[in-house]
Chains A and B, each alone.
Chain A
Amino acid sequence: MAYETSDNSKTWAVVAAIVVVVFAAIGWLIFRPSGEGGAQGPGGATLTRMPGDANSIIKNRQMSPEDVLAALTTYMPSGKHDDYMMFASGGHGGQVLVIGVPSMRLLKVIGVFTPEPWQGWGFSEETRAVINGKAGDGTDLLWGDTHHPALSETNGEYDGQFLFINDKASARVAVIDLRDFETKQIVKNPLAINDHGGAFVTPDTEWVIEGGQYAHPIGGKYASLADYKKSYRGLVTCWKFDRKKGSIDPSKSFAIELPPYWQDLSDAGKLVSDGWIFLNSFNTEMATGGGEKKGGVWFEAGTTQRDMDYLHVINLKKAIATAAAGKTTTINGFRMIPLQTAASESILYFAPEPKSPHGVDVTPGGEYMVVSGKLDPHVTIFSFQKMMDAIKNKSFSGKDPYGVPIFDFKKVVEKQVELGLGPLHTQFDDKGYAYTSLFLDSAVARWSLGGPYEKLHSDKPWTLVKKIPVQYNVGHLAAAEGDTAKPAGHFLVALNKWSVDRFANVGPLLPQNLQLVDISNPGDKMQVLYDMPIGIGEPHYSQIIKADKIKAWDVYPEIGWSPVTQSKSPKATTVGQERIVRNGNTVEVFMTAIRSHLNPEHVEVKKGDKVIWHVTNVERARDATHGFALFNHNLSLEPGETETISFTATKEGVYPYYCTEFCSALHLEMTGYLLVKP
């Protein structure tokens, strides 16, 4: 066979072509799509005509076109997820509720200040250490009055990482990690007996603000009411949040002493007003109550005598510098800037505000502070710029009895808008509107903002646009991301205190009514879409975040995870390492849980032994949670979690322990015997 001589330049072209083809083939084999993408939904098919039955359902249920619209907006087809997640306080239930919006489905109740057995919250040694507090009288504290949830923010927008919430009853703040939706820390305010204006965060969550409520002698001391003006004080506390550690650092935190007015809601400035915080107050009369006594005046009358109370305007940046410079006193181990220093260092100013207002809410750009009148039918809008000008020009109308400079009302107010009776709280949308709840009117008012927001809508600025009734006695309201630098619009939830006749009667204690309102259309178009009964607490405030900002874990990152420390537990047990260790009268059990057995299944102790019992769920599958029930303990062990219980075996006998979470077909068999020998 004869060969023709080949052209060398062609040789290399052929070689290169073969190499390229082979490597392309290798690359394609390795990186080709797996061909088994997510489950194929029925998506794509459009409804070309209504099924014949739909019209008869509409007719039979006597639904209006608005009802049908509401149903179509809120109905979440099976398996589909909500666009938003709402975090609502649980009031004096002491917990936090997580609700999907717009479906208004309850997704979770997060155990915070109150033990919650399904989550094992407050039952393990680890969680008990977080939840255990002491009430004002020194007794064990196992409840809280949650008021205002605050999502962590980056640049004034929710970042979906943490949630803070206050306990009004005992002046505490809790930190919840949104990777596992569990409470990580509860800090007790060493100076305050109660709080209200919190939690609110600064735009980058460096500080968590806790405003006070009812004035009292600082640090839990006694003083006669006759000495009210001298010995009672108000307070605002700035908690330093360490985002990396996911916890508040009390040693870097401080409080600012305030006059004994009753501080109320608060908000942090943002963008142009970054570095300032704002608190409302009432009872600048410094009434001390005692209506039952001869010549005494009830608080409700005594605290409402003056026409004006004071919006507290606080230079947080200056306060931080003052605290850092050591110009503080230390009470109960906690730093406090004294009232005199706050006044002399130009930290604190007062702006007169119509009497006994409730909420103060900062506009998305930080330009205005909207104060809701409560007893005054207006919202009063203060200009941050005008307040700064007044400070610069030293233009004040006087000082209060404690030496705090007071602005001239007319020189710092931007506008007043009359909305109706009982304005309480204000939120914002993306179209230049503000929304204010009207408690006495049982309504939500939409009104137009002016200034930089004027171009976003076609209504006359600073005007009431529309009021829609809600059922009934609305307290707070929450628009989607409506207190951030970038509100989302779309939906608003009115948190109504009374439901009266809205639901089937369940006895004298009625649920609260959370009503979803469509605010996506401009002008006078707003519609109530849904009534959600809340039968497990009384939500005060809530915040609504875009659901895709929440990056929660499917399972814990490692087997043996301690959620309280967010790290591997030193007591983690892996398969094959299960053991019972006796040390004198102490018996330590290292147990694993997996479908469908607890290992060990026999634990023998002697009466009087101290028993420390660690359980690790070694599962890695999503939702493969196990429970563990024994005596007065119930644990929830999510995949990977380790928890510990301890008790003294005081009574001889045989005690079955078992898995409380129906985990598998052989769940009932997931049990064992604790034998306490005489």
Chain B
Amino acid sequence: MKKRLNTIIGPRVPPDLQKQDSLRFLLPTLLLSLSVVCLLVSISQPYWRLKLHAPQYPGGLSVQVYLTHTTGDVKEIDGLNHYIGMKSLSEAAKLERSISVAAVLVLAVLLLGATYVHTRWAVLLVIPCLIFPFGFLGDLYYWLRAFGLNLNPEAPLNHAVKPFVPTILGEGFVGQFKTVASVDSGFYLVCMGCVLAIAGLWFHRLAYKPLQDQALS
């Protein structure tokens, strides 16, 4: 059992080699740790934003979607949405919002775990982080679609606005509103975290593969 565990976490670095070649072993750990920083900071940042432009709102209306909540003119947008029979934004992605922080923490722990595992298995620990941004966009699309296609047929403007799928990125049009949707700081941070994680893996392999080869030979 212990042997098996060792084949997964791989060989440890001999202290003298570590001292001699500090950058080689520090680099993957550093990059993966910075990736974790990006992930954690992203919790405090909006992932996606939607801006609505209409003649009677000179400054436009906007909503920012965080992992845990939404900010901006949510009340006003909800108020407008009731005319077309769209549900309140607060009813969307309740489950996702409740577990999102825990999920990011798990991703962070996995990334840190990858710095400890010196074999190819490290890749497995990084992959969830790489999937995360796509997961976010996929889930967002699911909810936009679910809201846009399930309009209350008894709403005041049921004839003027038919069910539709809101645009997830770029421009769209609903009634007199032009909508502009884009990903935001939090999403960019996660993407940067992914790039750092991939770079970290690359140097991880450069650092530990010779050790592993040596151990096998």
Which A residues are within 8 Å of any B CB, using their own CB?
1, 3, 5-6, 8, 10-11, 14-15, 18-19, 22, 25-26, 29-30, 32, 36, 38-39, 594-596, 619-621, 665-666, 669
B189 within 8 A of A: yes
- Chain B residues with CB under 8 Å of A3's CB are 21, 24, 210
Bound Cα distance from A620 to B206, whole angstroms = 57
- What are 20 A-B contacts with C-beta separation under 8 Å? A1-B210, A6-B20, A6-B22, A11-B22, A11-B26, A14-B23, A14-B27, A15-B23, A18-B30, A22-B34, A22-B37, A22-B196, A26-B38, A26-B189, A30-B185, A596-B83, A619-B76, A620-B73, A621-B57, A621-B73
- Chain B residues with CB under 8 Å of A8's CB are 22
Q: Is B75's CB under 8 angstroms from A26's CB? A: no
B156 within 8 A of A: yes
Shortest beta-carbon distance, A630 to chain B, in Å? Answer: 24
Bound Cα distance from A39 to B73, whole angstroms = 18
Q: Is B26's CB under 8 angstroms from A595's CB? A: no
Bound Cα distance from A309 to B184, whole angstroms = 74
Complex partner residue of B41 from A1, A14, A26, A596, CB under 8 angstroms: A26
Known contacts A25-B192, A36-B51, A595-B79, A15 near B209 by CB under 8 Å: no
Bound Cα distance from A25 to B38, whole angstroms = 10
Which B residues are within 8 Å of any A CB, using their own CB?
20-24, 26-27, 30-31, 34, 37-38, 41, 45, 51, 57-60, 73, 75-76, 79, 83, 156, 185, 188-189, 192, 196, 206, 209-210
Bound Cα distance from A11 to B23, whole angstroms = 5
The main secondary structure of chain B at its interface with chain A is helix
Complex partner residue of B45 from A1, A30, A38, A595, CB under 8 angstroms: A30
Bound Cα distance from A620 to B73, whole angstroms = 9
- Kindly list the 7 A-B residue pairs having the minimum CB-CB distance in the complex, ordered from nearest: A11-B23, A5-B20, A22-B34, A6-B23, A29-B185, A621-B76, A11-B22
- Chain A residues with CB under 8 Å of B24's CB are 3, 6
Bound Cα distance from A10 to B21, whole angstroms = 11
- Chain B residues with CB under 8 Å of A5's CB are 20-21
Q: Is B37's CB under 8 angstroms from A26's CB? A: yes
In the complex, what residue of chain B is closest to A594 when comparing beta carbons? B79
Q: Is A620's CB under 8 angstroms from B188's CB? A: no
Q: Is B34's CB under 8 angstroms from A19's CB? A: yes
In the complex, what residue of chain B is closest to A27 when comparing beta carbons? B41
Shortest beta-carbon distance, B170 to chain A, in Å? Answer: 15
In the complex, what residue of chain B is closest to A2 when comparing beta carbons? B210
Q: Is A30's CB under 8 angstroms from B41's CB? A: yes
Known contacts A11-B23, A15-B23, A38-B59, A1 near B209 by CB under 8 Å: yes
In the complex, what residue of chain A is closest to B57 when comparing beta carbons? A621
Bound Cα distance from A6 to B27, whole angstroms = 12
- Chain B residues with CB under 8 Å of A596's CB are 83, 156
- Chain B residues with CB under 8 Å of A30's CB are 41, 45, 185, 189
- Chain B residues with CB under 8 Å of A6's CB are 20-24
Shortest beta-carbon distance, B195 to chain A, in Å? Answer: 10
Bound Cα distance from A594 to B20, whole angstroms = 71
- Chain B residues with CB under 8 Å of A39's CB are 58-59
Bound Cα distance from A595 to B77, whole angstroms = 12
Shortest beta-carbon distance, A80 to chain B, in Å? Answer: 13
Shortest beta-carbon distance, A625 to chain B, in Å? Answer: 13
Bound Cα distance from A6 to B26, whole angstroms = 12
Which interface residue of B26, B41, B79, B209 has the most chain A CB atoms within 10 A?
Answer: B79
Shortest beta-carbon distance, B111 to chain A, in Å? Answer: 14
- Chain A residues with CB under 8 Å of B57's CB are 621
Bound Cα distance from A11 to B189, whole angstroms = 26
Q: Is B30's CB under 8 angstroms from A29's CB? A: no
Complex partner residue of B75 from A10, A15, A620, CB under 8 angstroms: A620
Shortest beta-carbon distance, A177 to chain B, in Å? Answer: 25
Which interface residue of A6, A29, A38, A620 has the most chain B CB atoms within 10 A?
Answer: A29
Bound Cα distance from A472 to B210, whole angstroms = 100
Q: Is B23's CB under 8 angstroms from A18's CB? A: no
Bound Cα distance from A619 to B77, whole angstroms = 11
Bound Cα distance from A30 to B43, whole angstroms = 12
Bound Cα distance from A373 to B18, whole angstroms = 98
Bound Cα distance from A14 to B203, whole angstroms = 14
Q: Is A18's CB under 8 angstroms from B34's CB? A: yes
Bound Cα distance from A1 to B45, whole angstroms = 42
Bound Cα distance from A8 to B149, whole angstroms = 61
In the complex, what residue of chain B is closest to A14 when comparing beta carbons? B23
Q: Is A29's CB under 8 angstroms from B45's CB? A: yes
In the complex, what residue of chain B is closest to A30 when comparing beta carbons? B185
Shortest beta-carbon distance, A245 to chain B, in Å? Answer: 31
Bound Cα distance from A669 to B79, whole angstroms = 16
Shortest beta-carbon distance, B178 to chain A, in Å? Answer: 13
Q: 15 new A-B pairs (CB below 8 Å) besides A39-B59, A620-B76? A: A5-B21, A6-B22, A10-B23, A14-B23, A19-B34, A22-B34, A22-B38, A26-B189, A29-B189, A32-B185, A595-B83, A596-B156, A621-B76, A665-B83, A666-B83
In the complex, what residue of chain B is closest to A38 when comparing beta carbons? B59
Which interface residue of B22, B58, B60, B189 has the most chain A CB atoms within 10 A?
Answer: B22
Bound Cα distance from A8 to B18, whole angstroms = 11
- Chain B residues with CB under 8 Å of A38's CB are 59
